[in-house]
């Protein structure tokens, strides 16, 4: 797969937005509210199956020690903590939604909303399962953590509606830039 310099630059911008999204954060426990999910889901809606390239680059930056995860976290410690499953879910969601977006030619806000809300499932399933695993091992009340997670989920559902509204005009702008 050969990528144009323009496409590489666009994907790099998405990596930068993921980093910025991690820093726009409301520090709730066990999982903070950030703008990361918006950019994780927007990436496959704009770039299709290329999206995991940007998300993987973001994750690798964090794994090598750059403080790019929520709260300035980095390294394997971030992956082994309560939010590690969500980071893995980011990659899963970007890959699956990117492939589906490439093959689902009908484009509209409805399609984007369905893909965005589906991406949340792909982010939350590994995220919640890993969070419960970590909290149960540490003796923390997992049930209380799940209750605390509900407001975060509700905010993310609303953020996906924003993503679905932003995706069509951004795709059009990217198409014009390619022309």
pLDDT of residue 141: 66
Backbone angles phi and psi of 26, in degrees to 5: -110, 110
Tokens linked to 163? 């993503």
Place of tokens 């980071």: 87
Per-residue pLDDT tens digits for 22-52: 999 887 776 788 999 999 999 999 999 999 9
pLDDT of residue 2: 83
Tell me which residue of 111, 94, 109 sits closest to 162, measured CA to CA: 109
Exposed e or buried b per residue across 42-52, where buried means at least 16 C-beta atoms within 10 angstroms of its C-beta? bbbbbbbbbbb
Per-residue pLDDT tens digits for 97-144: 999 999 987 778 899 999 999 999 999 999 988 988 887 777 666 676
Please tell me the pTM assigned to this model.
0.91
164 pLDDT tier (thresholds 50, 70, 90): very high
Tell me which residue of 123, 145, 119 sits closest to 132, measured CA to CA: 145
Per-residue pLDDT tens digits for 72-88: 999 998 888 888 999 99
pLDDT of residue 27: 77
pLDDT of residue 142: 66
| 173 has pLDDT over 80 | yes
With 0-12 / 13-18 / 19 or more C-beta atoms within 10 angstroms meaning exposed / middle / buried, residue 124 is buried
Spatial distance between the Cα atoms of 166 and 179, rounded to a whole number of angstroms: 20
pLDDT of residue 158: 96
pLDDT of residue 84: 93
pLDDT of residue 91: 98
| Residue 33 parent element (H or E) | strand 33-34
Helix ranges, the chain (H) = 5-23, 36-47, 51-63, 75-80, 84-103, 109-138, 142-178
């Amino acid at each position: 797969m050969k990528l144009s310099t323009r496409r590489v630059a666009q994907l790099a911008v998405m990596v930068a937005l993921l980093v910025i999204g991690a820093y726009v954060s409301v520090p709730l426990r066990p999982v903070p509210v950030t703008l990361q999910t918006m950019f994780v889901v927007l990436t496959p809606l704009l770039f299709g199956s290329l999206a995991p390239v940007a998300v993987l680059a973001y994750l690798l930056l964090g794994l090598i020690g750059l403080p790019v995860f929520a709260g300035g976290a980095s390294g394997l410690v971030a992956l082994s903590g309560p939010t590690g499953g969500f980071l893995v879910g980011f990659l899963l969601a970007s890959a699956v939604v990117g492939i589906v977006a490439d093959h689902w030619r009908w484009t509209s806000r409805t399609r984007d909303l369905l893909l965005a809300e589906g991406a949340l499932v792909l982010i939350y399933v590994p995220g919640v399962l890993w969070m419960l695993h970590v909290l149960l091992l540490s003796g923390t009340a997992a049930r209380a953590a799940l209750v605390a997670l509900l407001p975060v989920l509700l905010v993310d559902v609303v953020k996906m509606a924003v993503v679905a509204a932003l995706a069509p005009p951004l795709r059009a702008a990217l198409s014009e830039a390619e022309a």
